[in-house]
């Protein structure tokens, strides 16, 4: 029994290190590392290999990420910066596809709900040391330079997506259906402001090109039903009544549709409403500009992998948008 106690057994309350595995296996730490990492060019006899594997398993050894990263000079973390998780459907799909692609390359995708008020980016790097940062929204100049300082690579999603075109397509469709006075439902949520501005700009451009008046802007807050009714009233009270509305996205289009229903009216017959996204909930009755989530995701994945490999990204634009006509417009 005294013999047992003097043996360098498992240290209580401490992490199981590769050194523990080495001791218990009667081999060196180097050998353990070679075995655990399947290092090529290093021949280890099958017997020791099995012994090390079994011992590691038995002791429950898990290589400690910080030590690995310190030695390797890089972490396997890709950090996605997101302002808001409720972007919903498209975002979720993109992040899923991205994580699968990264997994094949030995990286892991972690998502951070980023807000400058909670914690400046500069405080993020001493806590996480990502190999690459994917920014899912816009970034300010100081934010971008902070990422540069952190030595993480950076991929921005903004710019990859033709938001203006989406706004244009909405107006073009409404125009083709005879609508000449168009409303625009702009989101109140500040976290989508940049995107929203682009879509609106596209709608405005299309109106100008088609020779119809600028869209009549109304702000709609997803968290406040009153704003929906206020918008409907404003459009109805316009000098020349609005007959068709572009909604920033399907969520807002759905709210407008619900608002109409609540008033005994109906989207499509009393007021044309068109959204953007083609979210599942919209698939009953909402006319929309569909975003091809998979194609969009592929572009981002391509961009991320290129950046990880220090390749220059070849911008292979694919068609991401498609009109889907349903009852609401």
Binding residues (CB under 7 A) for DNA: these are 14-15, 17-19, 26-34, 36-37, 39, 42-45, 47-49, 61-64, 67-68, 70-73
Q: Which is nearer to DNA, 130 or 183 (CB)?
A: 130
Q: Which is nearer to DNA, 36 or 234 (CB)?
A: 36
Separation of alpha carbons 73 and 63, rounded Å = 16
Q: Which is nearer to DNA, 6 or 47 (CB)?
A: 47
- Interacting span for its own copies (CB under 8 A) from 40-48, 167-175, 223-231, 293-301: 223-231
Separation of alpha carbons 9 and 84, rounded Å = 48
Write each residue from 173 to 212 as x if it is in contact with its own copies (CB under 8 A), else as -, in one continuous string. ----------------------------------------
Shortest reach from residue 62's CB to DNA, in Å: 7
Beta carbons within 10 angstroms of residue 76's beta carbon: 15
Q: Which of residues 32-51 bind its own copies (CB under 8 A)?
A: none
116 sits near its own copies (criterion: CB under 8 A)? no
What is the full DSSP assignment across 257-287?
HHHHHHTT--BTTTBEEEEEE--GGGGTT-E
Number of residues that bind its own copies (CB under 8 A): 66
61 within 8 A of 17, measured Cβ to Cβ: yes
Could you say which of its own copies, DNA, none residue 84 binds, taking C-beta under 5 to 8 angstroms by partner kind?
Answer: its own copies
Among 48, 208, 80, 192, which Cα is nearest to 147's? 80
Could you say which of its own copies, DNA, none residue 259 binds, taking C-beta under 5 to 8 angstroms by partner kind?
Answer: its own copies
Q: Which of residues 90-109 bind its own copies (CB under 8 A)?
A: 91-92, 95-96, 99-100, 103, 107-109
Distances (CA, A) of 26 to 29, 32, 50, 100: 10, 10, 13, 39
220 within 8 A of 227, measured Cβ to Cβ: yes
Shortest reach from residue 79's CB to its own copies, in Å: 8
281 within 8 A of 326, measured Cβ to Cβ: no
Residue 218 bridge partners (DSSP): 185
The tokens for 225 are 């039903």
Residue-wise burial string across 130-148, b where 16 or more C-beta atoms lie within 10 A, e elsewhere? bbbbbbbbbbeeebbebbe
- Interacting span for its own copies (CB under 8 A) from 154-162, 168-176, 177-185, 220-228: 220-228
Shortest reach from residue 56's CB to DNA, in Å: 10
Instruction: Give the Cα-Cα-Cα angle 20, 22, 25 (nearest 5 degrees).
Output: 105
Count the alpha carbons within 13 Å of 22 in the hemisphere toward its beta carbon: 13
Q: Which of 39, 70, 241, 295 binds its own copies (CB under 8 A)?
A: 70
Q: Which residues bind its own copies (CB under 8 A)?
A: 15, 60, 62-70, 73, 75-77, 79, 84-86, 88-89, 91-92, 95-96, 99-100, 103, 107-113, 115, 118-119, 122, 124-129, 149-151, 222-223, 225, 228, 251, 254-255, 258-259, 261-262, 266, 280-281, 283-285, 327
């Amino acid at each position: 029994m005294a013999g047992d106690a003097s043996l360098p057994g498992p240290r209580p309350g401490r992490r199981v290190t590769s050194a523990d595995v080495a001791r218990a296996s009667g081999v060196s730490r180097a050998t353990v590392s070679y075995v655990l990492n399947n290092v090529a060019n290093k021949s280890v006899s099958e017997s020791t290999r099995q012994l090390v594997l079994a011992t590691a398993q038995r002791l429950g050894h898990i290589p400690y990420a910080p030590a690995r990263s310190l030695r390797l000079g890089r972490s396997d973390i890709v950090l996605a910066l997101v302002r808001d998780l409720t972007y919903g459907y498209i975002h979720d799909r993109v992040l899923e596809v991205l994580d699968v692609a990264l997994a094949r390359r030995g990286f892991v995708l972690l998502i951070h709900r980023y807000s400058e008020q909670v914690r400046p980016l500069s405080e993020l790097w001493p806590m996480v040391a990502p190999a690459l940062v994917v920014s899912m929204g816009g970034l300010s100049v100081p934010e971008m330079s902070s990422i540069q300082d952190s030595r993480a690579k950076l991929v921005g999603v903004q710019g990859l997506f033709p938001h203006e075109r989406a706004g244009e397509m909405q107006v073009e469709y409404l125009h083709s259906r005879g609508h000449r006075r168009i409303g625009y439902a702009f989101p109140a949520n500040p976290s989508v402001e940049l995107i929203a501005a682009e879509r609106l700009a596209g709608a405005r451009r299309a109106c100008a090109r088609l020779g119809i008046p600028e869209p009549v802007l109304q702000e709609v807050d997803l968290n406040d039903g009153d704003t929906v009714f206020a918008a409907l009233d404003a459009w109805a009270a316009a000098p020349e009544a609005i007959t068709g509305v572009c909604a920033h996205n399907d969520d807002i289009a759905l709210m407008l549709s619900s608002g109409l229903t609540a008033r005994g009216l109906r989207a499509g017959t009393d007021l044309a409403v068109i959204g953007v996204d083609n979210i599942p909930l919209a698939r009953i009755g909402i006319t929309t500009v569909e975003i091809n989530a998979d194609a969009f995701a592929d572009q981002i994945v391509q961009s991320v992998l290129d950046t990880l490999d220090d390749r220059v990204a070849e911008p292979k634009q694919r068609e991401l948008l498609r009109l889907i006509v349903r009852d609401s417009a």
